[in-house]
Structure 1
Amino acid sequence: MNPQYKKMGWHLLGWSLFIGYALSGYFIYQWDYKVLLLTLSQLFLYMVQFYVCYLLLFPLWMRYRHWLVLTPGIIGVMILYICLRYLVEEVLYDIVFGFSNYSYGTAFSYYFFDNIYWSLPGIFMGGVVWAFESTLQKERENRSLRQEKTQAELAFLKTQVNPHFLYNTLNYIYSLAYPVSEKLGNAIIKLSDLMRYMLHESQDGKIELQKEIDYLQNYIDIYRLRFDEKFYVNFEIQGHVNGQRVPSLVLIPFVENALKHGVVDDPASPINICLKVQDQQVQFEVSNRISHNQKDQTTGVGLPNIRRRLELLYPNQYSLKIEEDAHHYTTKMKLHQI
C-alpha cells in the first residue's frame, strides 16, 4: 500500500475516534442543538490547528531548529484559533442561529485568555502526532541505511577473499599449458567451479553448507596439483550438513592460511581440517605445522575479513579462537544458531 494512503487512513481513523468520543455526550446526555453546534465548531478549529502545526509549523522548526521559528509560530497558531473561533461562534452563529458562545458584554481580556487555554489541545495534538510519525520515519530510514551499509560492506569484503590464490592458480595453469596434459583440463574445471561459487549471491549473504564444503574440496584439489603426491591434508566432516547455511566463503580463509603458511609435504605432520555440525552449531577447526621457509610477502586480508563478516552476520553468536606456538598454528571457529 502507498505510504501516503496508509498515513491518510490512520489520520481518518484517529479523527473518527476523536470526533466519536467528543459527540458521544450529545447522545448520552441529550444536549440541545446549541451545545452540538459549539462542539462541532470546536472540533473543526482543532483540526485546523492540528494540520497547521503538523504540516507547516513543526516541519519548519525541524528544518531550521531555532526558537525564532517555533515560538512565533505557536503564538500565530493561537491567534489564528482565537480569530476563527470569534468569527464562527460570535459572528456566524449569531447571524444564522441567533446565539453566540460568550454572553454579550464579555470583556475582551477574558475572551482572549480563556481562548489561549482552549487553543492548547490542538497544538499539543499536532506536536505529538508529528513527533511520533517523524520518529517512526527516522527509524525506518536508519534501518534501511544500516541494511544497505551492511550489504555493501559484506559485498566489499567478499570481493577481497582469495585474489592472491586465484592469481597463483592461474599462473600454475599457465605453466601446465606447455606440456598439454590431462591435469590442465582437471585444473581448469575445478577453477571454473571455484569462480562460479564466488559469483553466487544470496539476499542474506549465506549459502548451503554443502556448497561451501564442495568449494573447499575443489580448492584443496587444485592446491594438491602443485605438489603431486607429496601433499598431506586431512579433511574430516562430522554431523549432518544438509539444510545448514553459512556465510559464503567463511571457511576458506582458515584453509588458505594453513596451506600458505603451513607444511603440506610432511606425512608426519599433515594439515588437519575438521568440520562438525552439532546442536545447531557449526564448528570448524584447522591446524597445521608452521613452515619456516620463505613466505609470500603479500598482505593477507583473511582473518580480519572473517572477523568483520562474523560481527555483521553473527553478532554475539560466534566464537573465534587462535592458538599458536613455535611449531603449530590452530584456528577454531563456532557459529551458533545457524
Structure 2
Amino acid sequence: MNALQKKIGLHLLGWTLYIGYSFLGYFLYHWRFEVLLLTMSQHVLHVIEFYLCYFLVFPLWMKYRQWWVLGLGIVGVMFTYIAMRYTIEEVMFKALFGFSNYTTITLSYYFFDNLYWAMPGIFLGAVVWALEATLQKERENRSLKQEKVQAELAFLKTQINPHFLYNSLNYLYSLAYPVSDKLADAIIRLSDLMRYMLHESKDGKVELQKEVDYLHNYLEIYRLRFEDNFFVNFNIQGLVNGQRVPSLVLIPFVENALKHGVVDDASAPVTINLLLENNSLYFDVSNRINKNQKDQTTGIGLPNIRRRLELIYPGKYSLDVQGDGQQFKTMLKLQEV
C-alpha cells in the first residue's frame, strides 16, 4: 500500500467514525425522516468545508505565508457553507419534501447562526491538515538527516584519492616547469581545480568568485585540446562581491555543454552567461548539440542537481532545461545569494 492509498484509507475511516457516531444518536433517539435528511445535509456540507480548507485554503496560506490569505479563505468557505445550506435545506427540501430547517427567521439571524454551524468543518480541516503537515515535516527532516549522513560517508570515501592526486600534480608541475611553460600551466590549473574540489565549509558554500575562478580554469584546460578552435563566450554581468553559493553548483551545466555541444565552430559558440541582480544569481548555458557525439545522454544528472538545489534552496530556485534537437539550454536562478 502506497502513501496515497494509506491517506485515503485513513480519511475514509475518520469520516466513517465521525458520521457513524452522529447517526448512532439519530437511530437511538430521533427516528424522524426530517432529522435524517437534515443530519445528512449537515455532514455533506462539513465534508465539503473540510476539503476546501484541506486542499485549497491552508496550502495557499502555507505557500504565500500571508495571514490575509488565510482569513479570506476561511471567510470564503463560510459563505460557501451558508449559501449551500440555504439552497439545500430551505429551497430543495421545501420543494421536494415540504419542510425546511428554519421557520420564520430574519436573514441576519440565519447568517450569524450559520457562522457558528460552519465552524466544525473548518476546525476539523485545520486540525487534520496541521497534523499531516507536521508528520510530513518530521519525515522530511529524518530523510534529510539520512541523506546528509550518506553524503558525508561518500565524501570521506573519496578523500584519500583526491588528496593523493593533488599532491602528485604539484610534484608533476615542478618537473614540467623547466621543460614546457604550457604544460606546467595546464598542470597548475588542474591542481587548482583539485584543490577547489577539496575545499570544505560548514554550510557547504564557497565565495562565488572561487566558483567563477574554477570555471575559468576548467575552460582553459579544455581549450588545450582545441587550441585556437575553441569558441566559448563566458559573460559576467553584475558585481561578484562576497556572494556565497554551493561549491560546484555551476560546473555541471558547463561540463554538459562542452561534452555534448559543438565547441569548435565560431559561428555557433557555446554561450555562458552569469548575471547578478537584486541578490539573485542567473546562470544560463546554451550550446549547439553535437550530432557526432556517441553518448547522447545529458551527462549532468539533472535529478541529482535538482535534489541538491532543493535541499539547499527550497522554494528559492528555478531550473529550466530546453532542447529542440538542435540547441540545448539550461537556465538556473538562485535567490538570496
| TM-score, structure 2 normalization | 0.50
Larger Rg, first or second structure (1 or 2): 1
| TM-score, structure 1 normalization | 0.50
Kindly indicate whether structure 1 or structure 2 has the higher relative contact order, using CA contacts under 8 Å at least 6 residues apart: 1
